[in-house]
């Protein structure tokens, strides 16, 4: 999964996009391989999901990503589902106060969240109707793992 992420980061760099590695794979930056990852969730500037969508989509398709769900902005790449969403949700949902709060994702042209920000994101997701119905137990397990990680880091 890491190799695919690095390839996608390189593709996005062509549009000067430095994505935020989000979701459970983003959280693996801290927790390691705590589960089997089925997809990559990347956040990009809102304009690429809105007014520049066709340019963004064309770049991805020219570089081997296959659009599988335009409404959800999902592609596949080497049989891995890659979903894109607006970076603005982080501020709108009060996960972060400023983009300056993000941390660099390893030695790449990407960002991710702090453990505390991931905790906020997962806690916020528990309020989402779909996630309550389909993912509440799994999300709570992840919240427990993040909470434990934060406790250990504070020792």
151 lies in a domain? no
Three-state DSSP class for 34? coil
Least confident of 7-16, 125-134, 135-144: 125-134
121 lies in a domain? no
Mean pLDDT of 31-36: 92
Burial bucket for residue 16 (CB in 10 Å: 0-12, 13-18, 19+): exposed
143 lies in a domain? no
State the pTM of this model.
0.92
123 lies in a domain? no
So what's the pLDDT on residue 134?
55
Asked whether residue 135 carries a pLDDT value surpassing 70, the answer given is: no
24 lies in a domain? yes
Tokens coding 119: 């905790």
Rounded CA-CA distance 37/96 in Å is: 24
> What CATH number has the domain bearing residue 48?
3.30.460.40
140 lies in a domain? no
State which residues form the domain around 49: 2-113
Tens digits of residue pLDDT in 45-98: 999 999 999 999 999 999 999 999 999 999 999 999 999 999 999 999 999 999
Number of compact structural domains in the chain: 1
So what's the pLDDT on residue 129?
56
Rounded (to 5) percent helix, strand, coil in the chain: 50, 20, 30
Rounded CA-CA distance 144/50 in Å is: 35
52 lies in a domain? yes
User: Which residue, among 93, 70, 95, has the nearest Cα to 83 in the 3D structure?
Assistant: 70
- β-strand 80-86 against 39-44: which pairing, if any? parallel
Is the CB of residue 126 less than 8 Å from the CB of residue 139? yes
119 lies in a domain? no
So what's the pLDDT on residue 133?
54
Tens digits of residue pLDDT in 89-131: 999 999 999 999 999 999 899 999 999 999 999 998 887 655 4
């Amino acid at each position: 999964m890491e190799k695919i992420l690095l390839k996608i980061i390189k593709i996005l760099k062509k549009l000067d996009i430095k994505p935020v590695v989000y979701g459970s794979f983003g959280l693996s930056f801290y927790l390691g391989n705590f589960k089997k990852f089925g997809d990559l969730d990347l956040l990009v500037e809102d304009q690429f999901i809105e007014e520049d969508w066709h340019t963004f989509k064309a770049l991805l398709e020219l570089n081997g990503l296959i659009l599988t769900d335009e409404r959800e902005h999902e592609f596949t790449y080497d049989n891995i589902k890659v979903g894109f969403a607006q970076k603005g949700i982080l501020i709108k949902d009060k996960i972060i106060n400023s983009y300056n709060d993000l941390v660099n994702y390893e030695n790449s042209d990407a960002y991710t969240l702090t453990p505390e920000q991931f905790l906020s994101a997962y806690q916020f997701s528990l309020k989402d109707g779909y996630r309550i119905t389909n993912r509440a137990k799994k999300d709570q397990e992840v919240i427990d793992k993040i909470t434990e990680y934060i406790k250990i880091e504070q020792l």
